[in-house]
Amino acid sequence: MAVQAVFYSDKDGFEAAIKEPQRLMFTSKAEADKRDKILELAGELQVFLEREVPDLGEDLAERCGIALAEHSDLLKTALKKPSALNEPAAEEDT
């Protein structure tokens, strides 16, 4: 029997990582750190969205913040080329 180290972000929590191991558990600390940075950005985006769009609501602002943070690279590209948001997606490593 082999032993394997797995990593997850404390911001996701252990219970969430167990429920969605394919998406929230990682085999390297670097991958878990990347997820942690995404969640940090998502939290800041949530606060921004709640402030800028008052009727959005906390739950929807959280979900939007996570979606925006998870696709931050695409958003950076879209600032220069807006049509990039709706071009057929390239294969992603998820």
List per-residue pLDDT tens for the chain, 94 residues long. Answer: 788 888 988 888 888 888 988 888 898 899 989 999 999 999 999 999 999 998 999 999 999 999 999 999 999 999 999 999 888 865 454 4
For residue 56, the SS3 value is coil
pLDDT at site 90:
57
**Token digits for 3?**
């032993």
pTM value > 0.85? no
